[in-house]
Amino acid sequence: MPVEYLSALTATARTQRANLHLGIALAFVAGALNAGGFLAIGQYTSHMTGVLSSAADDLVLGKVPHAIAGILSLCAFLVGAMTTALMVNFARRSQPDSAVTYTAPLLLEAALLLLFGLVGATLKLHEFVSVSLTAILLCYVMGLQNALVTKISSAEIRTTHVTGLVTDFGLELGRLIYWNRTGQAFAPAVRANRTRMRVHGSLILAFALGALIGALGFKYAGYIATVPLAIMLVVVSLAPFFRKVPSPR
């Protein structure tokens, strides 16, 4: 049943399959927003390493407003992650066995993406210091999402940190092709974790595909291209409410 499958993606009782499938969906969203957002505002919004490095460069070069803009983007990402922590922990303490513990952050992300799709062009015209409100909104959404999938998978999966994903994939790939020579009984054999390779490879491909589709969407449809992403998140987050509860015998 589609509802049962979608409900499992955000269930409190986690499985590796649910973590992977939710991670793939959110990595796709992150890729679409990151690439499409760059076409919209000329700035990547999930790459905090680059944002912080650019802020340092701008500060050294005397471009103080640009440096402040970078710090504001970083703070927006940070506040997004904090928001997820507050929402999830509140839900867990209020209703420990609730099937909708992770619904609020997903719905908030969907609402913000819908806002971005409908009035993103208008937000772009407004700036705080020298960073557009659109950039701050997208950085906040990326922090919100990455914290959510980190929380829901017990830090096993990230959806916006492709650098880490590629690093982990490369480590496992190196182990895979390593030649375990015979006659070295004292040394344990090097073995690749194929499950980790499959997970990281899937997330990288999902992010790349999302980036491609997001860029195409923004190029030909503009801001409205984020509306299907928002709808997808709404469907995933609301699925537990439509799940059939077994009747007591």
Domain containing 49 equals 2-241
Q: What is the pLDDT of residue 65?
A: 83
Structure token digits, residue 151 = 């929380």
**Is residue 206 situated within a structural domain?**
yes
Give 3-state DSSP helix, strand, coil % of the chain, rounded to 5: 75, 0, 25
Whether residue 246 lies inside any domain: the answer is no
Residue 247 lies in a domain: no
Asked whether residue 249 is assigned to any structural domain, the reply reads no
Question: What is the pTM (predicted TM-score) of this model?
Answer: 0.85
* pLDDT above 70: residue 123: no
| Dihedral sign of CA atoms 130, 135, 139, 140 in order | positive
Mean per-residue pLDDT of the chain? 83
Residues pairing with 132 in the sheet: 127
| pLDDT tens column, 202-215 | 999 999 999 999 99
Looking at residue 243, its pLDDT comes to 67
**Residue 248 belongs to a domain:** no
Domain count for the chain, please give it: 1
Residue type (1 letter), 151: K
pLDDT digits (tens, 9 = 90+) for 149-163: 888 887 777 777 788
User: pLDDT tens digits, residue range 164-174?
Assistant: 889 989 999 99
pLDDT digits (tens, 9 = 90+) for 36-83: 878 877 777 877 888 888 889 989 998 888 888 889 889 999 999 999
Name which of 157, 144, 25, 153 is nearest 83 in CA terms: 144
